[in-house]
Every structure is written in structure tokens, then in C-alpha cells.
Structure 1
């Protein structure tokens, strides 16, 4: 079970319960009890009954990793991807399935994925001949992401095949993890060259494939769903600022975050991070202080931890310094804020 304090601090990164589509059946077929896996990683099975419920991303990844361990199936995430569908994504899935072309479908998944999973940051870059769909997973650095990565990229391939042709295949797959012993299953499922120990995980396809029309396209339904999803997305906030804030929040577990560490966590250079924050009208220090204050408020409201402990957890060397910083931000002391929050 994850310690409550750690779980609270990572509450900003969530994934819809619909992401567990196919998990129980696959685990059972491979000889593992999903209920025991959920109990071990701290997931209430009741929360999985409604697909729109939000589950901490780190617990989702831990469940995948534990399922792989207990079943002895190294490719658990990849096999699970082949049992999933557009419905996994809720409204986003229906929107993607009824898009006019592969290009629009992939772009909508990239743009709105944060409504489903705030711990995954996809991007799409297109050249004259090829397109590269890159996946960056953020969150707890001590939780392996191999299963989540293979699940995500395996699902993208399956979805494209579902709406175009069962024989469609990407140009190549790239994984940032090492080649597993049973790597032949990757070549069999993806039907293309697969490269390991790369700088990033990505799917490469021909640019011309982006113009393939979807056999499931419905222009009227697509337009209706697009308006609905736009309204639902309004509460998600700015994607880049959310990523930076979540990165800083995650790093608080390992000590005081820094510009360099946060940039590395996100996957960009420190100078690029500074430039982007400047465009957003802020600085790294301002974002850091906002996140630290937010985490302090969570602890003050949701726990009975002493102020000295909270001070240490969020990186202050002394409680007095924490108190002065909190008062500058909130106008009152932490003790007063806790009593009247």
C-alpha cells in the first residue's frame, strides 16, 4: 500500500478507470487474481466500476507492473493493449473513432489525452515522408513505465487498424527500454522493425497514411462530440503548465526541485523550459513556490501532520521559514489557515 502522504502528493496525476479495460480478464487467464493486485497497490475495486472515476497514475502503473510480475508475462501491457478499444477513452474515444482521417484522429488523441490521462504527454511531428508520434510518461520516477509505454503504443496501432485496415502496419516502433527476452512478440504484433534503448518511445508511420479516411467516420456525430469535449476540456487548464506543476510536485519527494531537474523530468533543456515559462508570463521560481504552497495546503487540510513535518516534507530547512513563506502567500500563518480552511 502506498503511504498516504506520498499518494496525496501525487494526486495531481490521474488516469480514468476506463484505462483498466481488459485488465481483469487478462490477469485471470494468466493465473493472477486482480483483486489481490488492486489491494496491494492501493486501488479500491469499487472505483473501477465507473470508467470516468480518476485513479492515481502511479497506482495504475504499479498495477500493470505487479500483474506482469505475478503472471510471469513480461509483455502484459502489450497484450492488454490488444484487448482494448476506443471506449477506453470515453468521449475522446468516440470523437477519435468518428474523425474523418487518421491525421485528425491522432491529432485529437494527442490534443485531448489529458482528459483521460494526465501522466502521458504525447506529441506528433510530421515531415514530407514520415510522421513520428512520441510518448513521454511523467510522474513518479521510481515506478517503471515499460508496461504503460507498451500498452499505450500497442493501443495506438490497434486503433488505427480498427478504423483503416487490419493489415496496416507502422514503419517502425522505438522504445526507450532495453530489448526483452521475448521480443519476437513485438515484431509479430506491430509487424514492423522494433528498436530498443532509444532516446524516446515513439511510433513512426508514413506521412501519406495520415490522409487515410476512417471507415467509421461520422461527420455529424464528430462535430457534436467535438463541442462536448471542448467544454469538458476547459477545466483541464493549460497543458504545459500542468506538466511543469506536476513534475515539480513529483520531485518534492526527493528533495527540493530545481530548474535543471524539472527540465530533465519533462524531457526538454533548462533554457527551453525558461523560454516557455516566460511566454506564459511566469518564471520557474514562481511556479515552484505556487506548487509548494498548494502541496502545503493539501497537507494542512488532509492530514494531522505537525507543521515541522510538513515544513520538512516540502523542502524548508526550518519551520519558521515555512511559516513566513506561507504567510506571505496566504496572508495568514499555516496554523491559522488549518484551523479556518
Structure 2
């Protein structure tokens, strides 16, 4: 089943279209949606259709910043029932953690991860659509929405250290700078927000301690378990373990609290193997890393868990048909399509 999103994901869409002089109904009709559906926030619609209509609307309006503009219409309540629980968490860490752990309750497309290292926190935002498609506007909308949520947790003047996008900069970056500040960067290796880890321990500005117990009782009644497969869990662990140089099936099994045979058995039931997932994850990350000219090939080799640059180069040639240096050069000349 393809991932779904609540209609609240398109909150403000109709208003923004009209403010930019375009009719939203024909655009939604092209992807099988109807503006009438947006009046009920808790209705579920196709995630791919929601992503496609944003791209169509950006093209029709002539505004490359459509997704960022749309985020300006978002409210915390657009998250749905989970917003009542998240807003009562005592600090930013617990509030954001709850929001990420249960993102499937409001958006099955989102793949958000929070990590901490060397005093910095990184919120990486990905989209899982089940098919290849342009998703620039949806990505920018998601990151702008998270940026607004973090401000609500902290205060209206809060700013991250930087906001990163994998895609190229638009012709006019004024809307992005208004939304995110001066440190918004494009052509980076991931989509996300970087800020001081200390911010995670700051009190949640919205929380009322007296309401937390009631909120958690309510949440227990509405919480829906996420259908995470064994392959999903292994894939996530591979991405975490690769830079450490300790990415093996034994280490993955240890992290999952099982033996390697159990990992093999669960992966086989979904038609996967540890080797296939390792290779697919490396391929996905290699495209991002090699496209970034600021990353040295030696650094990339280490990040992908290779013991030597020559080993990485041989693997890369097998996967992409050319050396990483040649691939990077071709990409810089725009001979390779940009991956959204």
C-alpha cells in the first residue's frame, strides 16, 4: 500500500493558490484530488498525489518557493490529535521525539530522524513515496513546518544554525531567507535543520505541567502502532553503523537483540538480504555524498564504511559505470539528472 497523508498536510493550499492568482481545483483534479476534501483535516489521501499537486502548483504559479510559502499557513493544530499530547511534553527533546516516533499518525510519507554529535543536533527530513518523483516543494514544506514547530517549542526569535536542502537554490531566495534566516544552504548532502543540541533540553514553551497526565491518557487511547518491517529496521541501522566502520550483520543483530540467523530469516521473508540492503543504502548515500564537491572522496569512502579509497572506487564503478571523480564531474556539468 502506498503511503498516505492527512488532508491537513495541504492546509493553506487553497488560500495560497488564490493569493497567487491560480485556480486550485483543476490542479487537484489532475492528481485525483478535490478541494472539497480539504475541509476535513483528518481524511487520508494519497501522499504521492499531495506531492505532485505541490509541484504542479509551483509551476503554474511561477513560484519556486511555493512549499515555503505554504508553510506560513500552517498551525500546530494541523498535526491533528497528536498535537494535544506533544504540546504538553516538558522539554523540546521529549516533544520532538514523540512527534518523530509517531509521525505515521499524521503523515506516512515523512521519514524524519534526529541525531546528536559534537554538541549539534541534526533533524534530517526525508520522504518515502514508493516511486520516483520530483518532491522539491513537499520537502521544503516539511522542513519549513518543522522549523515553525521548533520555534513554537522555543520562542518566536529562535533560529537554527543552518537549514540545508539537497536541491539547487531557486532564482530568488528571499522567501527562504525570510523563513529560515541567512544560513539557508542549497546543494547540500541532506535535507534538514542543524541546531545546538542544548536546545533539545530547553523547556517546551507551550507546555502546561498540569495537563500532561491528561494528555498522555488521551494519547494511550488514540495511539496507533507503526507497521515497521524488519527490513526497515535493518536499513536504518545500516545507515547509522556505516560511518563507524562496524556495519556487519552481527552488529545489526546485536543492536536488534537477536542472532544473525533471525535477521536473515526476517529479511528473507520480505525478499531481501543483508547484502542487498547494505548495497542499496550505500548507493543511495553515495549519490548524495559524491554530488557534494565539498566532500573529499577519502571522507566519503570512510562515511560509507570502506576500509580504503581504492575499495570504494572499485565498488562505485561497479554500481555507476564510472569512477566517482568522473561521476562528480559529469554531475557538475549537469549531464546527470538531479535527484530530488
Assess same fold via TM > 0.5.
yes
Deviates more, 1:195-204 or 1:129-138: 195-204
**Among residues 264, 267, 270, which one is paired with 1:284 in the alignment?**
267
Q: Assess if the C-alpha contact under 8 Å between 2:166 and 2:187 holds in 1.
A: yes
Deviates more, 1:29-38 or 1:193-202: 193-202
Q: Assess if the C-alpha contact under 8 Å between 1:133 and 1:203 holds in 2.
A: yes
**Among residues 140, 144, 166, which one is paired with 1:150 in the alignment?**
140
Match of 2:73 in 1: 83
TM-score by length of 2: 0.68
Q: Which runs of 5+ in 1 are unaligned?
A: 1-10, 245-261, 290-341
Q: Aligned pair 1:101/2:84, yes or no?
A: no
Instruction: After superposition, give the CA deviation of every residue in 1:281-307 in whole Å (9 maximum; x if it has no partner).
Output: 744331149xxxxxxxxxxxxxxxxxx
Instruction: After superposition, give the CA deviation of every residue in 1:161-213 in whole Å (9 maximum; x if it has no partner).
Output: 23422111000111111122112322221114122222211100111111221
Q: Assess if the C-alpha contact under 8 Å between 1:98 and 1:221 holds in 2.
A: yes
1:106 aligns to what SS in structure 2? helix
2:121 aligns to what SS in structure 1? strand
* Distance in 1 between residues matched to 2:232 and 2:217, nearest whole Å: 24
Aligned length, in residue pairs: 260
**Among residues 112, 117, 120, which one is paired with 1:127 in the alignment?**
117
Match of 2:180 in 1: 190
1:60 aligns to what SS in structure 2? helix
Match of 1:167 in 2: 157
| Mapping for residues 194-209 of structure 1, pairs under 5 Å | 194-209=184-199
Q: Assess if the C-alpha contact under 8 Å between 2:31 and 2:52 holds in 1.
A: yes
Match of 1:321 in 2: none
1:27 aligns to what SS in structure 2? helix
Report the CA distance between 1:42 and its aligned residue: 0.3
Q: Aligned pair 1:47/2:37, yes or no?
A: yes
Question: In the superposition, relative to structure 1, how do residues 243 and 19 fare at CA in structure 2: closer, same or farther (>3 Å)?
Answer: farther
Report the CA distance between 1:268 and its aligned residue: 7.9
Match of 1:313 in 2: none
Q: Aligned pair 1:215/2:198, yes or no?
A: no
TM-score by length of 1: 0.68
Match of 2:287 in 1: none
Instruction: After superposition, give the CA deviation of every residue in 1:261-283 in whole Å (9 maximum; x if it has no partner).
Output: x969x978997799479666744
Instruction: After superposition, give the CA deviation of every residue in 1:118-163 in whole Å (9 maximum; x if it has no partner).
Output: 1111111113411001112111443211111111111111122234
Instruction: After superposition, give the CA deviation of every residue in 1:77-128 in whole Å (9 maximum; x if it has no partner).
Output: 1111121011111012222222222212211111111111111111111134
Match of 1:327 in 2: none
* Distance in 2 between residues matched to 1:35 and 1:116, nearest whole Å: 24
Question: In the superposition, relative to structure 1, how do residues 267 and 150 fare at CA in structure 2: closer, same or farther (>3 Å)?
Answer: farther
Question: In the superposition, relative to structure 1, how do residues 221 and 76 fare at CA in structure 2: closer, same or farther (>3 Å)?
Answer: same
Q: Which runs of 5+ in 2 are unaligned?
A: 273-340
1:234 aligns to what SS in structure 2? coil
* Distance in 2 between residues matched to 1:144 and 1:27, nearest whole Å: 19
Match of 2:26 in 1: 36
Question: In the superposition, relative to structure 1, how do residues 273 and 188 fare at CA in structure 2: closer, same or farther (>3 Å)?
Answer: farther
Q: Assess if the C-alpha contact under 8 Å between 1:169 and 1:192 holds in 2.
A: no
Q: Assess if the C-alpha contact under 8 Å between 2:230 and 2:267 holds in 1.
A: no
* Distance in 1 between residues matched to 2:75 and 2:230, nearest whole Å: 30
**CA RMSD after TM alignment:** 2.9
Q: Assess if the C-alpha contact under 8 Å between 2:68 and 2:175 holds in 1.
A: no
Report the CA distance between 1:43 and its aligned residue: 0.9
* Distance in 2 between residues matched to 1:156 and 1:140, nearest whole Å: 23
* Distance in 2 between residues matched to 1:160 and 1:225, nearest whole Å: 20
